[in-house]
């Protein structure tokens, strides 16, 4: 039998390029939430793919931005940590975009000691000519990277890239038990499922001012009883979130419950409460409490 391979494969790129879509496609589960809005992912989320003779530990990370408040600084710390322990780096770009604006990250990618795969995503949006131009452009920009065109959404070239990454993994014993799918607890996925609905249904600043904390997660044979608090930064946001006669919040609850029942494969009872946690995005103590620490 061949030797066992294992390693950390960390996905990095601008917001909204499709990092979470790719991780979910590799893992075959909806571990990361996906929306059309930038800054959907706020944490570093591990997705573990186990084979007989390999373990691929993928990291989905927040899109690279210039931080302007504490939450975003912490998000960028997660990205930095993903540079530090990578065995393979996946730098994702999308059709029509230019490189990262962060010079330091670019330098790290250009001078990386571990293999860098530059994944040109969303090629379903390009014709052949544009695709060839873009492939040439990225290969010139990152001469040391392997450039691969993909469509994470349509599963185009995803399996081939996956096999290529397995090939690049170093020889190592597994880092996690072989039945583990992620490093995050069940409550994290509850929080994220609710936050996804808020990203989808509310406009402007609301999704960015929201954090979820699941206070109760009680599971028995038949049902999971969940109580989650939606935190907003100001009183005015609380009113918007709840909506006229509570209809807006109701929609969040119903859709979240449906998704959670599919995720946990069990009946779910979900209670949602809205509270104000003044300026939590800039408050180091509150950020720590919500798991934003590097
Ligand atoms: N057309 C097309 N859209 C895609 C593809 N991959 C992802 N998308 C869409 O791009 C949007 C962003 O996808 P995400 O996976 O959330 O992107 P992300 O890079 O994780 O974004 P952040 O977490 O905000 O940094 C979603 O609307 C996806 O459906 C693709 O291959 N083709
Ligand atoms: Mg994401």
- Please give the mean pLDDT across all residues of the chain: 95
Give the confidence band of 294 by pLDDT, cuts at 50, 70, 90: low
For ligand 1, atom 21, the nearest C-alpha belongs to 16
As for ligand 1, residues whose beta carbon falls within 6 Å of it are 15-21, 34-36, 38-41, 62-63, 121-122, 124-125, 151-153
Average pLDDT over residues 48-68: 97
pLDDT digits (tens, 9 = 90+) for 210-262: 999 999 999 999 999 999 999 999 999 999 999 999 999 999 999 999 999 99
Atom of ligand 1 nearest to the CA of 41: 23
User: DSSP secondary structure string, 103-171?
Assistant: HHHHHHHHT-SS-EEEEEE-GGGS-HHHHHHHHHHHHHH-TTSEEEE-BTTTTBSHHHHHHHHHHHPPB
The whole-angstrom separation of Cα 235 and Cα 265 is: 36
For ligand 1, atom 7, the nearest C-alpha belongs to 18
For ligand 1, atom 1, the nearest C-alpha belongs to 122
Atom of ligand 1 nearest to the CA of 17: 19
The whole-angstrom separation of Cα 246 and Cα 277 is: 20
């Amino acid at each position: 039998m061949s030797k066992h391979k294992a390693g950390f494969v960390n996905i990095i790129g601008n917001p909204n390029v499709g990092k979470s879509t790719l991780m979910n496609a590799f893992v075959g589960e909806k571990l990361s939430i996906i929306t059309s809005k930038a800054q959907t992912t706020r944490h570093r989320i591990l997705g573990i793919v186990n084979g007989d003779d390999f373990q691929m530990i993928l990291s989905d990370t927040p899109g690279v931005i210039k931080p302007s408040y504490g939450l975003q600084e912490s998000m960028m710390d997660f990205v930095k940590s993903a540079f530090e322990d990578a065995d393979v780096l996946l730098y994702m770009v999308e059709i029509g975009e230019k490189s990262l604006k962060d010079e330091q990250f670019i330098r790290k990618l250009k001078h990386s000691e571990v293999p860098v795969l530059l994944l040109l995503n969303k090629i379903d949006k390009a014709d052949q000519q544009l695709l060839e131009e873009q492939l040439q452009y990225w290969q010139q920009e990152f001469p040391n990277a392997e450039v691969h065109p993909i469509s994470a959404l349509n599963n185009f070239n995803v399996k081939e890239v996956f096999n290529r990454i397995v090939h690049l993994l170093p020889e190592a014993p597994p880092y996690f038990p072989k039945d583990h799918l992620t490093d995050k607890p069940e409550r994290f996925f509850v929080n994220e499922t609710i936050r996804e609905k808020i990203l989808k249904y509310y406009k402007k600043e609301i999704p960015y001012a929201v954090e979820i904390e699941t206070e109760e997660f009680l599971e028995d044979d038949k049902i999971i009883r969940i109580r989650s608090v939606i935190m907003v930064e100001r009183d005015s946001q609380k009113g918007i979130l709840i909506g006229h006669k509570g209809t807006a919040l109701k929609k969040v609850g119903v859709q979240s419950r449906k998704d959670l029942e599919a995720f946990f494969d069990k009946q779910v009872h979900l209670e949602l409460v809205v509270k104000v946690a003044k300026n939590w995005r800039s408050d180091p103590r509150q950020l720590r409490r919500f798991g934003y620490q590097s």
